[in-house]
Structures are given as structure tokens and as C-alpha cells.
Structure 1
Amino acid sequence: MKLRRARSLLSRLVAGDGLRWAVRKAYGVFRREGLAGLKRRIAWLRAGAPGTVAPQLYAEWLRRYDHIDDATRVAIRARIAGFENPPRISVVMPVYNPDPKWLAEAIESVRGQLYPYWELCIADDVSTNPEIRPLLERYAHTDERIKVAFREKNGHISAASNTALELVTGAWVALFDHDDILPEHALYCVADAIERNPSIRMIYSDEDKIDEAGKRREPYFKCDWNPDLFLSQNMFSHLGVFQTTLLDEVGGFREGYEGSQDYDLALRCVERAGVGAIHHIPRVLYHWRVHAQSTAAGADAKPYAVVAGERALNDHFGRVGVRGAVEFAVNGYRARYALPAPAPLVSLVIPIRNELELLKQCLASIIEKTTYGNFEILIVDAGSDEPATLDYLAALERGGRARVLRDDRPCNFSAWCNSAVDAANGEIVGLIDSGIEVLSPDWLSEMVSIALQPGVGTVGAKLLYPDGTVQHAGMTLGLHGVAGSVHQRIPRSSFGYFGRASLIRTVSAVTAACMIVRKSVYREVAGFDEQAAVMAFSDVDFCIRMQEAGYRNVWTPYAELFHHESSIRHCGSDSARQAHFDGEIQYMQRRWGSLLRNDPSYSPNLTLDEDSFALASPPRVNALV
């Protein structure tokens, strides 16, 4: 009966012969994992694949939530009329041999803006297509807000962009490519953000792609400013907007970084402005044209851009004094941070209660595989009563392989961790579940090197189920009510939602199944809460308090471990556990309610009901006016 129901549901969800493979794969998931696994697969099918959105679903979402009607236009114009000091926005567009049709569409999209206080500053970099110059001259004569400079020598995109910047008279500069499109409310949203937030100096928005037929797809719903993700990908573009004085302060575009000139510019501007001056608009305000020569089609379209981005990031490390290096890693960039010499002592804290075979596997993998040499193992025995386990712990202590703390307090994971941290000798503390099994030998080196960076609180790892699918790739606040792991059950090799399962990034929380943190920072935030969040959400509460104290939590995909899951956090009777769990949910929602609805590392346009990055319906964004 269940199988027939699954087939019926999948048949309605999947359209076209090209996705029949997904149906067959989903049947396999059903047989192996039951309805729960099937629901996950259905969520992926609805999204097109892990990390993407099916075009038909996105089209329907746009119709419902991204449609500008006449009443909205009237309201927007009324809002603009009420601006005290409407800023002039200079749209800067370097031009070199675009398709004339797309160039005209790009220009018309600026002319069609609801916000009237703009200028379009165009620099033609000696286009060889004879249609381009007359087209630009015609627009310049038609609309006085359009300014065009014709360069005498081809200088590539950085030089052309700087020529366009010389035409700028506005207080703000928006970067725009010669074949892309701005929706009619784009500049209004930018001006509205400036009006409401006079201290900001940099603005970025969400984006999507538009194909050669004009169909929109692949929306990238971004998070708020994410320093670690920004070092992994240029999340600032598109739409990227800068205060003009900021561009003057950093000297505009640098030649020699063509292809990633906007990345290099944003890096230098962030250094100058500070992260507090960066504002994210959670709306799609830029349609990026996809064609064979555009970087929207993938890194292979412009390999020189990848090399330029790598150079820009390493220059950034040099300027800000970070010891390390950045390299391209297939789906983005990887920052490698240098460890100090000597490397600090790490205290690996492992709470246990019986489950001897799990513990043996955990310790063997840590001792035999870990390349980081300076660590101690501190086992918290939270009430083991099996003779074999007790004998094994005693043998560990006699052999000097680990220290064992006996802590018989009932069902208080937070208290167990806090007491162990107090007894730890290391400058760095690692909270480790006894079900962890090391996969990547340099896992600890990777996590410690990040934990030692200024401003970092906790560091989390990429945890895999025994079948190799992803269990933990960072946690999202508000998911399923309080918090949950995103990208659950996607393949280990999957990039995830716009690289989120394969790139280092800031997250709001990581699991204590494998968490690295400086001991001084742990103590600064008073450790885990032993009163209210003692079991189920102790790590989430801890990470939120890290954020509250000004630290950021970082997840890295380059520390991979299996997680077989112990039962250490599942003590007591079923009814007692459920009562405790319900109490912690109430506590978390009472204390962190607003943040649980607005995770800065997640998008309000994405759902909190599933862990598949599906579209939110409706999105949790403020009205346009």
C-alpha cells in the first residue's frame, strides 16, 4: 500500500523522461530507508536536485511572490517621493562586443527602473562589432542620464570599468554587466536600504540566471554577510553596490585581476569599510545572463578568472596579516590557515556511557589516523556500569592513553562537558562523540587552524552517516522549530546549495558531536548551560551565545568524519526524555525566538520546514513598501 502511494506521488512530482532515473533511485531509497528517506528524496526531486530549484517550481514561486503589479508600482513611487535625500545611483557598465540585442535589453532594464535618480555610465572598450557604437550613441542621445565613453585602446574589463567610473557623479555605484538585466524595482530597493541605513557603505542582493530565451532559473538566495563563505566564493556579486567615496578610497579596479576584478574590489572595500557597513537585500535584484562565454555558465568559461580570484584572495591575506594561503578547489576557493609552531595542545573530550565497541573504534581511529600530534584524550565516564567498559577505561588510564573522569550526575550533557573542560590541559578543546570515526587524517589540523583565527568561536566538521551520505554540514536555526542540520542525506561528493556543502562558511551553530573551540573562549561565554539547555540543544544554545558575544561559528568540509551516533544524550526513560526535550524546545523558542526565525546564515526565501533548501512559501521577507 505504501509503495503504491509512493509511486503515485512520485509520478505526479516528476515530469518528463529525463527524470525517470530519479524515480528509480527514489524507489531504492524507499526500500532502504522507508518513508522518511523517501520524503527526503521527494524534496530533492521537487527542488530538481540537491541545491537547485526546478524551473517550473521557481516560475510558480515568482508568479506568487516576485510579481510587481500596478498597485505596487504606485506604492513604490509614493515611497520614493517621501525620501528625504534620494541618492543618485550610478550604474557602471563596461562594454566589449556583447550581442547587440542583449546590450539593448540591459540598457532598457536600467531605463525601466521605478527609481528615477540614476545615471548609466558606459565605457566601450573598443568593440569590434560595428553595431555597438551606433547603438550606444543612440541611447546617449535619447536619454541624458546615459553617459558613454569610447576608449581609444582596448584595456580589458578593469581598465574599461575605471573609465566608466570616471563618468560617475552619483553617491553610489552599482556594477552591471553588458548583457545582464535589472528587474524594475532593483534600484528602488537599493535606495530604500540606503534611506533606512545611513551607515552602510556596501550593498549586495540575491540573484538568478536568465537564459538566452529570457527564462529565469537557478535563484541564489544568499545569507547575510558571511566572512568565511566570502573567502570561498564571491557572494557579493550580483547586484553589488558601493558607496562612491569607498571606491575612491581603495583606488577603483586593479588591472591584472580581469575576470575576478569585482572580487578583488570587494575584498579591498570590505577591508576598508568593515563588516558592519555591509548590507544584504534578500531579493533577486539581478538576472545574470547565461551563455557560452559568460562566467554564469561555469568556471570553465573563463579559467583566467579563477586564477585571478586566487591571486586576489592571497593578496587579501597578505594585507590583513593572515598566515595562510588560498587555492582554487573545484567548486570555489579553499583557505588554508597556517598552524603556529609549536602547535597548541588539544584536549579531546569524549563523554561515554558503556557502548564499548563504539569507543574502541573512535579511539583507534583518532590515535592511528590523526596527523595532528599534540593532543590528549579526556574521557568523561557518565555512569558506565558494564564491566568490560570499566576494565577498558582502567586499562587506558594505566597505559597513559587517556585520562578518565567519573561523572555520575544524571542526564546533563552540558555539565559533563563543562567539568571536563575545567580539567582539560589544552589551549584548545574538542568535544567528540564516542561514535565518531576519523576519515580525513588532517581533520584536527584543519579545525584547529580555523579555531585559532581572530573572531572564531566554534568550528564544526563534515559528519557522514555510515553509508557515506551527509549527516552534518552546519546547522540552521529555526529549521523544524528550533534548529536542524541542512543537506542531510545528500551524497558526500555533492556540492550542495550553491556550494554550501563543500565550502568553508560561517554558520549559526555546529554540533557538539565534533566541535573545536579555544578554551578561553569557551570560558568567556560560560560554557554550556547546565540549567536550561542540558541535552538536546546544549550545543545550539552555546553557539548562539558565541554569536551574541561577537564570535562566529565556522563549518569546514575539509574535516570529514563518520558519525555512528552514541546514545550519550538519550538517557532516562522514553517519557522523561520526551518531557525534557519538550522543555528545551520551549526554552529555546522563548529565549531565542526572533533569531530562530531569522538565521543570518540562511535565507528568508528558503523554507524552515525541510532541510533541502526548498523555496519558502511564503518567504519571510518584509513587504517591498
Structure 2
Amino acid sequence: MKHRELYKKVKKTMVYTKFYGIKNMIHRNFDKYQVNEQWYSTWFEQNKVTQEEIKIQKQQRFVYEPVISILVPVYNTPQKYLQQMIESVCEQTYDKWELCIANANPENLEVQIILDEYKKKDSRIKVVDVPENLGIAQNTNKAYEISTGQYIALLDHDDMLATNALYEVVRTINEKNKSEVIYTDEDKISENSNEHFQPNFKPEFNLDLLRANNYICHLFVFKRSLIKESEPFREEYNGAQDYDLILRCTEQAENIAHISKILYHWRMHRQSTADNPASKLYAYDAGERALQAHLKRCGEVGRIEKLDDLGFYKIIYESKDNKDLVTTVIKSDGEINYLKKCINSLKEMDYENLQIIVVDMGNQSSKVEKYYQFLEGQGIQVVKGQKDSFPATINIIKKQIKGEYILLLSQYIEFQGKKDLEQLLANCQREKIGVVGARSYYRNHTIRHAGIGIGGEKFSYRLFEGLPNMCKGYMHREALQQELSAVSMECMMLRKSLLEQIDGFDDKLGDEFAAIDFCLRVKEKQYRVLYVPTVVMRYNASYDKERIEAKNITIMMQRWKNVYENQYGYSS
């Protein structure tokens, strides 16, 4: 048995390496943030719907019970996979559905016989022949034409739904103000259907993450009224037609709901995109075009670039006004060499309209005093820290800050790119963006900051801290731009208007909690907090950990009880 398991693991690693490369294979196998497959297998068995729950769900009735039309384009699907897909729909605990299948090769007798048999068994199963095989988008449109449901769900011809998938969707629609877009978590399933692995636990709706990768993917359900066109799938985006549709639906929807349950099983075999991303290289070009069209509809301007990993993108946004004054406030402990590196990295930027203020939080020696005098001679303002608190000092010097945008920095931060400040500014200028943070790493090339999550005994945690800088983190999220709960004050750009609107930072908290508290209050004002990993900084001091007082943890837990309990901003 041990030899068989070892053989399977080695074979899987070889297949993965062939398609993703050695570097990504190392990330996958040695990244501590990846989900252990043995753990997940046990977790899945413990958390899947039980027979008792199935009986209860079949008897339950909802106030609103829409028909859900499930669209499936079929083309020469292997008999076993086709049957399992159809059975997974027939076994749903919610019964108001219709399965609309577009068969792109009616001459395949095996497929035709199976479809005919199921049509006779269940009138909810509809089939339309598409002998000309128009393409996946056009074929799916044919399935859409025979659908009648108020909601549309997308299912691939060789994948499977969890038995309670539609039940959970309809329950969510009823409980969350008739949500117009619903998506769920998903995992991969083996060819023999015996193994579940690679779970994708997703965050709540996250626009910037969606622009970096189609993280919504499966299961995706949308209200028919969101799409006005008679043919919702566009042939020019074949291969990424789902991504294009998801972008358009989320643009229109007022209520988007995420169901944090594994309700979709994505088949992994050699011909599938799940196992072999290189099998559909054209899809990633189509995804880039869909993303560009989405930005244009949203009135945003940015250059889209593919990342090394297929299916992932980064957007270099254009600054609305690259002449805006940015005030940089640097926290200094009197370590001159580090402060010099920080200031020099700012001056080397391709951005000249800077006001620099150094906040002295340390004990000055005569050498430090002379350097501060030198800075003042260069037009850099030096102010004395107040109450031994950087947040308190920021509140006090607000009137001395002239820029509409403020960049808070630690003296230990050294920017690595000449366009970094411009990228932070371009993102901060975007509509409803309130705070922007970046990625920092230690001199040993391990992550220091990649955003802050909410949860755990200490209330918050630094995401991906200690991960080697070459790794990507769970589902690549360390490397993808996205909205998060909070970012660090060691590199935080914010709007000055928000600092005044929210009445500054809580100066009773340490730097890290003051930053988190500020970010959460920004979110309450319906602004978003962004993590921009393409802005990379080196943290020049040795590894350290801010002392977190228990009383501050208590304050934060009480103040942000709802946020803490809901794990707002990041799914884990």
C-alpha cells in the first residue's frame, strides 16, 4: 500500500512539473500555506452533507423557489464522466431545476444514447443538438436558448455538483436579499472520482482579486435578468467565455453572495484545464481580452500583463494625475543608515512631486541631530514624535501635510522599483479605494508583510509571513493584487480626506493595531483596502515582532466583534 501511494504521489508530481515547471512544483510541495491533501481528504468526509441532512433538505420549502437552469455544453464526453455529471444533477436535494445540454456531436452514438435515456427518465433534462459544433461559447448559447429558469448555473460536461449545491444556492438567495450572483467553493476530483483534493476556499467578493484571476470559476450562478443579450456567451472570448460572463455579471449585480462550502467538484484528467493548463493556452489570451474590455466598461485605464503562471494577470493602472502632491511621513528611530536608504529610494523614484516629513521617534545623538539638520537643509521637514506614538504624531501634524495623498513609511523600508510610488498612487486614486499597501521582505528574502488578516487568538495575523519570497502562497494569493482586511503602517498610502473624515488614528493602540483599526473604519465608509504585491520593498532591519499588549487585543475584539467573527476580508 505504501509503495502504491508513493507511486501515485511521484506520478502526480511529475505531471504537475511537466505543465507548471520545476519552480512551481517546488512552491506547491514546500509552501507551508498549501493545503495538505491528506488533511483535506479527512476534512471533506467530515464536512460533506449527511444522509440525514439530505432527507431534511428534500422536504424543505422556501418562500422563493426559482427554477435554476443548468447549462452544459457536451462534446464527445467519456461515457463515465457524462453519466456522473447528469447523476449529480438528478440527485440534487432542491428539485426545481432543469438541465439544458447542448450536444455538439450528435453522431457520437454513445453520448446520444445516454442523453436519450436520461431525457426519457426525467422531463427536466433537455437536449439540443448542435451538429456544426460552433465553439464552446456558441454551443453554451444553444443550451441557454432552451432554458427557462430565473437563475442560470454553469456546469462543465465532466464535472460534478455536490448533492446539496442547488439547495444551498436557493437558501442563500432567500436569506441574502435575492442575491443576483452566487458562487461557491470548489475542489478537484480524480478521474476515478475517489479522491478529492486541491480545495479552493474563496474570499467574499473581491473585485481586484477577480481581475487578477478568475477565482470565482465554479460553481457560478447568476440571475437571468442581469444579461440582456439573447446570446450571453461571446464567441470572441472562447476559452474564457465564463470569465467574460462573470466580469459582466458582477459589474451589474447589486447583491453578490459567496457560499463558503465545497459544492463543485472539478474533474482533473490529462485533457482538462484543471490538470493541464497548457491544453488551452488560447484561453488565457481570451481572458486578457475579456479583462481589457471589462476595464473599459468600468472607465478604468490599465495595462494588463500575464504572470508566469497561466491564468493569472496583473494590471498596471495609469495615474489619473501624476502631478498630485504626495506627502511621505517616515517614522525614524534615529538609525541614520537605514533612514538614508529609505529617503534615497524615494528620491530615485520617477515621481518628483513629493513632500517628505521625518518623524523622530528615537533618542537623538549629536550625530543624529546633525543629519536631521542636513535633511532640513535639503527641504525635508523633521518633527518630534508625540506621546511616543507614531499614530498620535500623524494626528497632530495633519495641518503640516500638504498632499492629498499620504504615504506612511518605516525608515527600514527601501523601495526596489522606480515606478513603485506611482503604482501606489494610481491605485489610491481609483474610485472608492481608501488605503493601499505593498509587499515587504526581509534581507533573507522571506515575507515580512503581505497584508493583514483577521482571526486567531491575537485578533490579527500577517498573511504569508515567513514564506520564502519566491513562493506564491495559498492559491497564489500572496502574489495577486486584492482587497484585504488591512495593510501595515510600514507602507500605507491613504487619502488625506479620509484621515480627516475618520478623525485620524487611534493613538491608544500600537502601530499595527492602529493601522488595522484605521483600515476597518475606512471599510465602514464603503472604501476598499488594497494589497498591491507588484510594489515590493526590502525591510532592512533584522527580524522583529512588535509587542502586542493583551489589553489592545481585547479592545480590538470588542470593537470589531462582527468583523472578527465573520473573518471579514479573507477566507481561510
Would you say same fold, with TM above 0.5?
A: yes
CA contact (8 A) 1:413 1:569 kept: no
Q: Which amino acid aligns with 1:381?
A: D
Corresponding residue number in structure 2 for 1:295? 273
Post-superposition Cα deviations, 1:207-240, rounded to whole Å, max 9, x if no partner, equal 0011212211000000100011011111221000
Post-superposition Cα deviations, 1:539-561, rounded to whole Å, max 9, x if no partner, equal 00000001111011000110000
Separation of aligned partners in 2, 1:293 and 1:302: 9
Corresponding residue number in structure 1 for 2:21? none
Equivalent of 1:427, from 391, 404, 410? 404
CA contact (8 A) 1:461 1:558 kept: yes
Separation of aligned partners in 2, 1:100 and 1:18: 25
CA contact (8 A) 1:347 1:428 kept: yes
Post-superposition Cα deviations, 1:425-451, rounded to whole Å, max 9, x if no partner, equal 212110000111122332111111111
Corresponding residue number in structure 2 for 1:612? none
Separation of aligned partners in 1, 2:350 and 2:230: 42
Equivalent of 1:476, from 428, 439, 453? 453
When the two chains are superposed, the root-mean-square deviation of aligned CA atoms in Å is: 2.4
CA contact (8 A) 1:440 1:560 kept: yes
Structure 2 vs 1, CA of residues 231 and 583 (structure 1 numbering), >3 Å: closer, same or farther? same
| Superposed displacement of residue 47, structure 1 | 8.8
Structure 2 vs 1, CA of residues 87 and 586 (structure 1 numbering), >3 Å: closer, same or farther? same
Post-superposition Cα deviations, 1:513-532, rounded to whole Å, max 9, x if no partner, equal 001112122222222112x3
Separation of aligned partners in 2, 1:505 and 1:69: 35
Separation of aligned partners in 2, 1:582 and 1:131: 66
Q: Which amino acid aligns with 1:296?
A: A
Corresponding residue number in structure 2 for 1:204? 183
Corresponding residue number in structure 2 for 1:270? 250
Q: Which amino acid aligns with 2:186?
A: E
Q: Which amino acid aligns with 2:64?
A: N
Structure 2 vs 1, CA of residues 264 and 249 (structure 1 numbering), >3 Å: closer, same or farther? same
Tell me how many residue pairs correspond in the alignment: 550
Separation of aligned partners in 2, 1:119 and 1:339: 47
Structure 2 vs 1, CA of residues 294 and 127 (structure 1 numbering), >3 Å: closer, same or farther? farther
| Superposed displacement of residue 55, structure 1 | 1.7
Separation of aligned partners in 2, 1:268 and 1:342: 30
Corresponding residue number in structure 2 for 1:553? 529
CA contact (8 A) 2:141 2:231 kept: no
Q: Which amino acid aligns with 1:61?
A: W
CA contact (8 A) 2:94 2:166 kept: yes
Corresponding residue number in structure 2 for 1:380? 359
Structure 2 vs 1, CA of residues 191 and 48 (structure 1 numbering), >3 Å: closer, same or farther? farther
Q: Does 1:325 align with 2:306?
A: no
| Superposed displacement of residue 311, structure 1 | 0.5
Q: 1:237-276 residue pairs with structure 2 within 5 A?
A: 237-248=217-228, 251-274=231-254
| Superposed displacement of residue 567, structure 1 | 11
Tell me, which stretches of 5 or more residues in structure 1 are unaligned?
Answer: 1-14, 21-43, 571-576, 607-625
Separation of aligned partners in 1, 2:229 and 2:390: 51
Corresponding residue number in structure 2 for 1:76? 57
Q: Which amino acid aligns with 1:428?
A: Y
Equivalent of 1:599, from 564, 567, 572? 567
Structure 2 vs 1, CA of residues 466 and 392 (structure 1 numbering), >3 Å: closer, same or farther? same
Corresponding residue number in structure 2 for 1:511? 488
Corresponding residue number in structure 2 for 1:35? none
| Superposed displacement of residue 307, structure 1 | 0.6
Q: Does 1:53 align with 2:30?
A: no
CA contact (8 A) 2:269 2:275 kept: yes
Structure 2 vs 1, CA of residues 51 and 73 (structure 1 numbering), >3 Å: closer, same or farther? same
SS in 1 for 2:290: helix
| Superposed displacement of residue 383, structure 1 | 4.8
Equivalent of 2:314, from 323, 334, 347? 334
Structure 2 vs 1, CA of residues 249 and 588 (structure 1 numbering), >3 Å: closer, same or farther? farther
Separation of aligned partners in 1, 2:271 and 2:185: 22
Tell me, which stretches of 5 or more residues in structure 2 are unaligned?
Answer: 11-25
Post-superposition Cα deviations, 1:383-425, rounded to whole Å, max 9, x if no partner, equal 532211111000111132x111123x33222111223443122
Q: Does 1:223 align with 2:203?
A: yes
Q: Does 1:62 align with 2:54?
A: no
Separation of aligned partners in 2, 1:131 and 1:562: 60
Corresponding residue number in structure 1 for 2:13? none
TM-score for the superposition, normalised by structure 1: 0.84
Separation of aligned partners in 1, 2:7 and 2:447: 28
CA contact (8 A) 1:113 1:185 kept: yes
CA contact (8 A) 1:250 1:268 kept: no
Post-superposition Cα deviations, 1:246-285, rounded to whole Å, max 9, x if no partner, equal 23468511111111101101111122223xx110000011
Post-superposition Cα deviations, 1:112-148, rounded to whole Å, max 9, x if no partner, equal 1111111100011236643222221221122111000
Q: Which amino acid aligns with 1:482?
A: F
Equivalent of 2:520, from 544, 553, 574? 544
- Identical-pair percentage: 35
Corresponding residue number in structure 1 for 2:505? 528
